[in-house]
Each structure stands twice: as structure tokens, then as C-alpha cells.
Chains A and B, each alone.
Chain A
Amino acid sequence: MQSNRLGWILLAPTLVILFFFGVVPFFYVLWLSFHQWNPFALDPAVVYNGADNFRALVFDSGFLASLGVTLAFVFFAVLSELIVGYLLAQAFLKDFPGKAIFRTIHTLPLIMAPIIVGSIWKLMTTPSIGIIPSLLDSWFGFDLNIGTSAVAAFTVTVVMDIWHWTPLVTLTLIAALVSLPADPFEQAQIDGANKRQIFWHITLPMIAPALLATVFIRLMDALRTVDEVLMLTGGGPGSATRYLGVHIFKEVFPRTNYGYGSAVSIIVLYLTIVSCWLLYVALIAPRNKKA
């Protein structure tokens, strides 16, 4: 049929744009991370300094604090979303009147801009404006103040993430659960297996591929959470919710220390890739070996 030249011509605009706005920035930031460069410093030259930026990073308490809270945030948010999402998916399997409407409502948060989600939760939880602190105070005498309490701010960001992203887990798991064959479940019931055994030995292994795909997507997204947290807490109080993306945006970027900032960016990218890879090695690779 056609010569391949036409194919390359059709593909060219895509490749050119992704090259200039995807590939070049990556190599540029990688190159800068091995240099010292602050255009507003006394010496504005770009000087090669080997791995100095990365060495400094290991002792940067601001960065380490940010890394710690990010990992805690990702752990609590993604784990809760998986558990709640699975239970909700199970509750969607039976037919009941109005199911389509409930499903539509449940999908709603997914399309909302993260910054709007942050704005909504700010209005929900800011003391004296939000409904949540007021209810907690009148019901339990509990004082929720995301502006002063690190635990409160952290918890609210996790709850906000659960509110925003659990629907994605629910819907992907519904898709996985409805496509399961009925035979193994019937067989297990005949053999007298209880619900817990059925879950651990039949349901879980069978939905594992979909579950892992969901974990990957949620993990990547949770690691890069910025907008909603920036809006809700601005990373505070202190560094309680200054997750890696927030850290880059609020601390690294304004400090015009571009060489060091590039090193932080590269490490964040590296950690994202490595955490996904570790998950792959720990969960998927052993399964493949067994099979």
C-alpha cells in the first residue's frame, strides 16, 4: 500500500511536540542537576559540580520531611481507597432500583478539577466557616483546626483524597468483578468454603490483575498530588502536608537555585519510577514465576 514516508509525516507533528515539551525538559533537568546555577546569585554562571546537589539533598531536612509525609499520605490514602472501593464495588454487584443513578453520583468527583476539590474541602474544614469543625465541636467537643494541628491537616488531606479517588477504584473493580466466571464460586460453595476463604483463595487471585493496575494508577497519581493540597493547607502547618510536588512548587521553585531544584526534581521522578517498580517486583513478578 502506501509508502511509509506518509506515515512518518502524519506522525511527525506529534513526535516534534512531545520531543520539545517532554524529552528536552527531561534531559535538560537531568543535565542541570549536575550543575550549580543560580542566575540571581553573585556568580550566575552554570558550573559543573558533579553529584554535589545530590549529596546536599541527603542532608536537606526540608526535603526529607517532605518525603516522609508523602510516603505516609500515599500509604494511608491508597490503602483506604482500595478497601473502601472494594466494599463499594461489592455493594454494586446486586441489582436494586436506582442503581444507575447512584453509580452516576458516585462517579461525579472524578471529573472535578483537583484545585476545586481542594477549594471545596477548604470550605468544609476551615474553622468557623466549615461545617465539619462546627459539627465535631457541638457533638463531641472535638476541636478540629487544620491551620494549627499537623495531624488534623494530614487526616483531612487523606480524607479528601479518598473522597476524590475512591470512585475510580470502585468502578475499575466493578469491571473486574462482573467479568468473573461463576463456576469457581459455585464449586467452592458446594465444597463448603466460607466467605473469607472464598475471598482470599478465589476472588482476590482472580481480580489481582485489575487490582494491581488500579494500585499502579492510584500510586502514581497519589505521589504527584499537588493542586488540592496546595489549595487546602498550602503544605502546612509547618511541613505536615508539604508533599513532594508541593515542596517543589512552594520551596524549591521560588528559591531560584536551579541546579539544586533540578536535583530535587530528578529524585522525585526517580522515586516515582522506583516505587512503581518495587511494587511490580514484590507483587507481580512472583506471581508470574509461579504461573
Chain B
Amino acid sequence: MRRQRTWLYLLFWTVVSFFTLFPIYWLFVISVKPAVELFSTPEVILSSVYWKNYVDVLNDETLRGYMVNSLIISTGNAFLVTVLGFLACYALSRFNLGGKESIFFWTITNRMAPPAVFLLPLFLLLTQVYRFGDFTLLDTKIGMILVYCTFNLPFAIWTLRPTIDGIPKELDEAAFVDGASAWTVITEIVLPLARPGLAVTLILTWVFAWNEYLLAATLTNFNARTLTTGLSEYVTTTGTEWGVMAAISMFTLIPALIVFSLVQRHIVAGLTFGAVKG
């Protein structure tokens, strides 16, 4: 009886896993097929592997530029929000600031609003209002790094708060008694203890910024265009080159998969604003 049950579970989960994995496998299949083979009857098993689509993507100067932009923007944004989130959490955790719990809650409302709602005002603000002489934030990497703060900074604050709250206040107080400056306390005492939480925050915010599409599609033209927007451009302009489209998708997917293997346990807690421990 028991044995039978175990087999049933294994069978059931094998089927479920098949449904999860097959679409990803299919993306890979399309990415390693030459264009001429695509329109014959779809074959599930690969007979030969054709890497030219990947080579084409890497040789495409525009796409390479998009890849570099994506890297700069997501890395810059992840570091910015992690540092600012860390400092903000330290302030919220250790000081008696008036209305600090309201501020803490308010930050998350910035993340809850649908991004589509903010396309229009952000576009107008970036082109018309936030300008310094001839310099506007539209289509700049720094502009995108700042815009991505609207969803990543609240996330950083909400995921780091429990970490900082969990570091005993007595440690800081003892250091202050010994005459340490606030800067020393933050960098020498709190920072090392918060390191695991900071790492998870850094990695997840990096992925969110890397994955973002809608804001990048609206607020960039060329100089700060990211890989996700490059993917959609490719589809609309040259919709027939499915192999290249699949290869770009693989390039966008691979960093996320690497990250996934690093912080798998924290993903659910992250996606539910910490409401559920994964």
C-alpha cells in the first residue's frame, strides 16, 4: 500500500514537472534550429544542434549594446537600492522617527501600483520636467536606474527590515559607549551581520531589474535600451526569424536561471513581500 502511494506521487510529479519544463525545452529546441527546418512538422527530439543563432546574436552590435545596457542598469540599480534600503532600514530600526511605521508601509504602495499607470507621467516627467539644461533623463542609464527604484527600493526595504531588526541593538549601543562613530557602527558592526540578507536582496533586485520590460520599452530609445526591449523589437520588425528570437530569449533567461540556483529558497518570501516564508 505504502509503496504504491510513493510510486503514484513520483508519477504525478514527473508529469507536473514535464509540463513545467517542456516549454523551456521547446525554447531551446527552436533556438538551435536553422530557419529552413522550422516550418516542417515540429520535431520534439533534436537530430542536430545548430548554434548559428547564438553566434548571430553575439555578432549583432546593437544587441550586444543592449546586453551591456541591461547589465549596467540592473547592476547599478541593484547596488543602489541595496545600499539605500540598508541605510533606510537602519534608520527605521534604530531611531525613533515620527511616523516611521507609516513611512515603512507607504514605501510598499509604490510597488503595488500597476506600472502601466505610470508610463505616461514618467515619460512626461523624464522628458519635460526632470531636465537640467539640455540634459534629460529619458533614454539614459542613470534615468532607468532611478526609475527602477520605484519597484526595487520598496522591495529592498521590506526584505531587509527583518534582517536589521534581528541584529541586537545592544551591539551598536556597546560600540557607541566605546566611542565609535555612527559610520563605524554601520559599516563595522551592522553591515557584516546583515551580509546574508544583503546578498539575497542584491540578487533578487538584480533579477527584477534585468527582467523588466514595460518601463524600458517606453522610457528608452537607443542609448539605454535593454535586452528585453531588444527581444520585442526583434519580433515586431523581423518576425520570421524565430531562431534568433529564441536565442535572445535564452540569453535573457540564463542569468535568471543562475540566480535562481543561488537564492531558490528566498524566492517565494521575496515575491510575497515577506508575507510567506518560503
Contact = CB atoms under 8 A, between A and B. Distances in A.
A124 interface: yes
A51 interface: no
Contacts, number: 275
Interface residues of A, number: 87
B260 A113 contact: no
- Most chain B CB neighbours (cut-off 10 Å) among A2, A113, A171: A113
B16 A88 contact: yes
A131 B45 CA distance: 12
A74 interface: no
B120 A106 contact: no
Contact of B182 (A6, A22, A249): A6
B41 interface: yes
Nearest to B90: A10
Interface residues of B, number: 94
B21 to A, nearest CB: 6
B137 to A, nearest CB: 10
Interface string A253-270: 100001001100110110
A217 B273 CA distance: 9
A59 interface: no
Interface stretch (A13-21, A182-190, A279-287): A13-21
Interface string B20-53: 1101101100100000001101101000000000
B110 A22 contact: yes
28 contacts: A1-B172, A1-B176, A6-B91, A11-B91, A11-B97, A13-B84, A14-B87, A14-B107, A18-B110, A25-B118, A28-B129, A88-B16, A96-B9, A96-B13, A107-B268, A113-B252, A115-B252, A116-B211, A119-B245, A122-B235, A123-B30, A134-B41, A168-B271, A171-B278, A244-B114, A249-B116, A266-B117, A272-B113
Interface of B: 5-6, 9-10, 12-13, 16-17, 19-21, 23-24, 26-27, 30, 38-39, 41-42, 44, 84-85, 87-88, 90-92, 94-97, 103, 107, 110, 112-125, 129-130, 146-147, 149-150, 153-154, 157, 172-173, 176, 182, 207, 210-214, 217-218, 228, 231-232, 235, 242, 245-246, 249, 252-253, 256-257, 259-260, 264, 267-268, 271-273, 275-278
